[in-house]
Amino acid sequence: MDELTSGELKRLGDSRMLMQREWSPCRYHCPVHADVRSYIELAARGRWREAIDVIRERLPFASVCGRVCHHPCEANCRRAGVDEAVAIREVKRFVSEQQGASGATVRRVVQDKAPVAIVGAGPAGMAAALDLALLGYRPTVFEKFAVAGGIPATAIPPYRLPRDVLQQDIDWICAHGVTVVTGVEIGKDKTLADLKSEGFAAIVIATGLALSRTLPIPGANHERVYPVLDFLTAVCSDRAPRIGSDVVVIGGGNVAMDAARTAVRLGATRVRAMCLEAEDEMPAWDWERSEAAEEGVGFIHRRGPTDIVIRDGRIVAVAARKVTRVFDADHRFDPRYDDADVVSVECDTVIMAIGQTADMGFLAGSPLAKDTRGRLTYDSATHQTSDPSIFACGEIVTAPGSVVEACASGQRAAKGVDLFLSGKPIRLADALPPVIGEMAPDTAAKVSKSPRNAVLQRAADERRRDSLPIDANFTADAAMHEAQRCMGCGGGAEVLIDKCAACLTCLRVCPFDIPVVTDVARIESSLCQACGMCIVECPANAIVSRSWDTREEIGNTAARLAGAGAGPKVVAYINGYHAPAAAWGASAEDALPGVLEVWLPSVSRLGVAEMLRAIENGADGIVVVAGYLGGDRYPTVRERMARRVEQLRAMLGEIGMNPERIQLVHCADEGRDAMRRAIVEATGKIAAC
């Protein structure tokens, strides 16, 4: 990456733009590239409202993804090299559900551009519609079901995704001028040609994979053999199908797990999932499999059904042969069987959950081309089908994926539509900034450990009896403390090489031994822990923060001091690492008279310059509330802060001001009451100056 100069920083305008030069892995690996680090940073300071806006900037299905996302952000979280990944999804869940649909900003733009029709109100279609609305188009989404949301609405069981949670996302999207018409199936109630003649300038096909695959085996058309989507959709529509007491789910993926766990909840006494794969080969997530097992789902591995045995019109068993292998040497799906080894698995109900396929019904009466395998012809570079005004996105044209992947596909298609309708060639820029590399183990070893906050999950015995969510949202405190575990990857120090004097101060104050100084200092972003110690101590002001900067607080503090009226004014800078979420809110009734509290994630970035400015801006004194030894998230901060306070006291002494105006207390980790007592005592000393 290019080295930074003060001229380039000036050109960028804001040091936060530096975050664009290199992405943290959570953002990089997120399919919609949500600015994870930024919203986690806001959540870490209890700024929920700002956090949800950052999330929704890129992710329209924030609430849904808070519940069901496969979270590649967490899978790539660098905190895993220290202890455990940050529970990003759970923080998002708390933030988005706490804010609801109305708690996030709606950015309405003038929609004076052409109308665009979207077929299918799933994540891909709704994401495309939202982006088109934000670009000034007038999107109308046609949905065959009575509810918008696609698979999350019709096939994700409510114990994983409550309907009201999904509705938050739908409502927020629709507030942007997205019209959803439900109960209209394209290809049946209307054709694509009808949409064109109704004046839609472009059409986006986002119908997903709406049909369940089934096996062409004897007995498969029995009424108690349910294609999995039919089964789940019926449950989600409160029309639960009649099942027997002994259910076999055929399949080993996540949808099969949803079906099995749903069958448990419908009262089946025995539910077993039969799959070709051995336990470690199953496509279902480990956690989904283990949660199913806790709820009593049994597993029959390495068996392939050959026959659904029906006696007297009722299912009595599934005959299944031994699977000798699932994948070939190149790990391609290519199962082999031993026909001599066949077992009979007793059951009275079968759910087929072996995958989904596209419902091509929307093509009725349309000349859109299909490929030799019957799939919609589509150019992945432009999202266009054989008709350049008809686009496709989501699972109908991509591999089966998750909600967030569908959103990404829809957003990309929306860009294609915009370029097409603007008469421009469709070139979609997919290039990303480089991602921050892995952290060296000896650096990881210096980071303070902090265990991941657990989500409270209901006991399996209890949760299997109802369709209520299986786990609880974080509390505000847990969400904040979990967010505070974020290491702020890439939000650390950046050297302005034209100002650096190679004085070695950064190297000497860094608690993690990261800077390397040759002609100038270099601070490797993959190693920097973003404590900000070097930023504060650099004598040349040659190191800037890529993320939050205590200097931002100068303006805030000045404004608060100006608005504080007459009477004594003390600024308390507080290390909030140990404080409850409510304290960060600094509610008026909780505030001590004459004290302006400035809450910081650590006092590591609180420098003498900031504190001096507060005095200059009218503060009578300053109380720094730091932690005891080890009470700050970063090593050596306590000692360094003590030196800064001594320096400031000496500076005041030099100009005839009483050094006692600056007070340092160490009780940030002792709770709010202790903190208040300490501030009151310190304020008393300041008042006596």
User: Which residues are CB-neighbours of 262 under 8 A, at least 6 positions away?
Assistant: 157, 159, 231, 232, 235
- Could you tell me the sign of the dihedral formed by the alpha carbons of 570, 571, 577, 579, in that order? positive
613 lies in the binding site for other proteins (CB under 8 A): yes
Q: How far is the CB of 532 from other proteins (least distance, A)?
A: 14
Q: How far is the CB of 438 from other proteins (least distance, A)?
A: 30
Q: Which of residues 83-112 bind other proteins (CB under 8 A)?
A: none
For residue 305, the cross-strand partners are: 320
519 lies in the binding site for other proteins (CB under 8 A): no
608 lies in the binding site for other proteins (CB under 8 A): yes
Applying CB under 8 A, among 325, 508, 672, 677 the residue interacting with other proteins is: 508
User: Which residues are CB-neighbours of 521 under 8 A, at least 6 positions away?
Assistant: 495, 500, 502, 504, 506, 507, 515, 534, 542, 543
Shorter beta-carbon distance to other proteins: residue 153 or 506: 506
Phi, psi of 664 (to 5 degrees): -120, 125
Stretch that binds other proteins, among 310-318, 497-505, 523-531, 634-642 (CB under 8 A): 497-505
User: Which residues are CB-neighbours of 633 under 8 A, at least 6 positions away?
Assistant: 448, 450, 484, 531, 577, 601, 602, 604
The position carrying tokens 């942007």 is: 176
513 lies in the binding site for other proteins (CB under 8 A): no
Q: Which of 150, 154, 125 lies closest to 140, judged by CA? A: 125
Q: How far is the CB of 516 from other proteins (least distance, A)?
A: 17
Residues 357, 385: contact at Cβ < 8 Å?
Answer: no
Rg from Cα positions in the chain? 29
Shorter beta-carbon distance to other proteins: residue 621 or 631: 621
Shorter beta-carbon distance to other proteins: residue 399 or 566: 566
The position carrying tokens 């399996």 is: 460
Q: How far is the CB of 635 from other proteins (least distance, A)?
A: 16
Shorter beta-carbon distance to other proteins: residue 419 or 657: 657
Stretch that binds other proteins, among 161-169, 204-212, 283-291, 503-511 (CB under 8 A): 503-511
Applying CB under 8 A, among 421, 612, 642, 674 the residue interacting with other proteins is: 612
428 lies in the binding site for other proteins (CB under 8 A): no
- Could you tell me the sign of the dihedral formed by the alpha carbons of 513, 517, 520, 525, in that order? negative
Q: What is the DSSP string of 69-88?
A: ---HHHHT-GGGGTSS---H
520 lies in the binding site for other proteins (CB under 8 A): no
Shorter beta-carbon distance to other proteins: residue 458 or 613: 613
Applying CB under 8 A, among 211, 558, 642, 657 the residue interacting with other proteins is: 657
Rounded Cα–Cα distance for residues 293 and 283 (Å)? 15
* Residue type, position 414, single letter: A
Q: Which of 206, 200, 207 lies closest to 421, judged by CA? A: 200
Residues 273, 255: contact at Cβ < 8 Å?
Answer: no
77 lies in the binding site for other proteins (CB under 8 A): no
Q: Which of residues 533-592 bind other proteins (CB under 8 A)?
A: 538-542
Applying CB under 8 A, among 50, 185, 348, 498 the residue interacting with other proteins is: 498
Q: How far is the CB of 15 from other proteins (least distance, A)?
A: 16
Stretch that binds other proteins, among 182-190, 242-250, 400-408, 607-615 (CB under 8 A): 607-615
Q: What is the DSSP string of 261-306?
A: HHHHHTT-SEEEEEESS-GGG-SS-HHHHHHHHHTT-EEEESEEEE
Q: How far is the CB of 81 from other proteins (least distance, A)?
A: 29
Applying CB under 8 A, among 215, 345, 520, 651 the residue interacting with other proteins is: 651
Contact positions vs other proteins (CB under 8 A):
498-499, 501-505, 508, 538-542, 608-609, 612-613, 615-616, 651-652, 654-657
